[in-house]
Amino acid sequence: MSNESRAGREAAPRNHPLSDVAADLVGREKAFGANNYDPLPVVLTRGQGSWVSDVDGRRYLDLMSAYSAVSFGHSHPRIVAALIAQAQQLGVTSRAYFNDELPYLFERLVRLTGLPRVLPANGGAEAVETALKAARKWGHKIKGIPEGRAEIIGCQGNFHGRTIAVIGLSTEPQYRDGFGPFPPGLSTVPYGDSDALERAITPRTAAFLVEPIQGEGGIIVPPPGYLARCAEICRRHRVLLICDEIQTGLGRTGRLLACEHEGITPDAVILGKALGGGLLPVSAVVGSDDLMQVFNPGDHGSTFGGNPLAAAVAMAALDVLEEEKLVARSAELGEWLIGELADLKSHIVRDVRGRGLFVGIEVDARYITARPVVDRLLARGILSKDTHGTVVRIAPPLNISRDDLAWAVSQIHALFRELEAELKRAA
């Protein structure tokens, strides 16, 4: 165990109020920012590896990784060095010109995914929009679907971002409330039900967009064989299979891509979050020649997408992923973590599920919701996040130490014992 990690554990807070400095910062954010987030009551200021510090010097173990954007830890020295070096040389040029970094990133992503063409973007939602545009144009120009009639199928419980088109595919009422009308040609089928997908396909269906594991939906792992069956159905009906790997990709589930668990190569993979090394928004659609041939100069673009600074950082992130063998590490630590959490002896816990270091603890809403669990983990020095009211998300950096992860598991076990005791006293 490192001295830094031990010091962080000893500094783990319990039920502390916000200091004057923290309260002032929270007050300013609430006074001047739109009210579209409800953050946990902690104000972070520094991060190194798997640990972050708040403005009062308290330290926390990060089991959230910014929804997988910090898969390689905070301020990884190699990625930071690449950022600084490139920023001092050339940052943004727009795609009006070639630059000397982007070609290497393209080549690297093609080699890693086995798909031959790359279109870069910034955040994940932009990449999803790019994939939807490509799929629609492919449907019209290549498959022969009448103009304006192409259909995209998604899954119930999905999360692909917050744009108008994407929330048109969402089945979460809050994500849609007040934001319509939505584009036509979007429908959903139950997640994990390949027969429902086949029933929903029509001659106008251009693509099926799916998360190999639903993250925001509650770390939902589909039945074995689901993705392989969907791939077969899509091939037979000449429908594009597009896998959203923004959260699950780049080692998070113990494989480079989560779709590899079933040995499939989709028509397109959407990458983001971890691709930016925890420092920049970097995303990409990596697709087949058949799909990507639909783009001509002027059809689609992004001022910042593919800038040399982003490309250099992404290359460094991929170097770290490969050289630190983080895919294998995620598989090994994830198997251990799921086994340890599955041993939670509590009637509050309904399920523990996931793959690799992408794990959800589902609590029984008859006794408690997930937010109080997350708040009390915060008080023990652990950062996590609730989703859909009943699931505590556990997704640490892939290079977290086993000692630190074991400490977190011990705190989670202790918390559920504490909650059980409180429920018994209240009964």
Is there a contact between 68 and 62 (Cβ–Cβ < 8 Å)?
A: no
Catalytic residue list contains 304? no
Residue 251: both structure tokens together:
């080692």
Q: What are the angstrom distances between the C-alpha of 284 and each of 30, 204, 369?
A: 33, 26, 36
Choosing from 137, 143, 273, 385, the catalytic residue is 273
Among the listed residues 264, 247, 253, the one whose alpha carbon sits nearest the alpha carbon of residue 211: 247
Is there a contact between 118 and 109 (Cβ–Cβ < 8 Å)?
A: yes
- Residue 222 CA to residue 154 CA, distance in Å, equals 14
- Residue 226 CA to residue 211 CA, distance in Å, equals 11
Choosing from 62, 193, 244, 404, the catalytic residue is 244
What ranges in 48-123 are assigned the alpha helix state H? 77-87, 102-113
Residues 6+ apart with CB under 8 A from 53: 44, 45, 46, 47, 59, 60
Question: For residue 321, which phi and psi values (nearest 5 degrees)?
Answer: -55, -45
Secondary structure string (H, E, C) spanning 259-279 = HHHHCCCCCEEEECHHHHCCC
Catalytic residue list contains 273? yes
Residue 7: both structure tokens together:
């010091």
Catalytic residue list contains 404? no
**Is the omega angle on the peptide bond into residue 181 within 30 degrees of 0, that is, cis?**
yes
Residue 94: both structure tokens together:
């727009």
Residue 73: both structure tokens together:
């830890």
- Residue 391 CA to residue 124 CA, distance in Å, equals 23
Residues 345-377 as b or e (16 or more Cβ within 10 Å = b): ebebbbebbbbbbbbbbbbeeebbebeebbebb
Residue 417: both structure tokens together:
């014992």
R_g of the chain, CA atoms, integer Å: 22
Choosing from 62, 72, 106, 159, the catalytic residue is 159
Residues with a catalytic annotation lie at 159, 244, 273
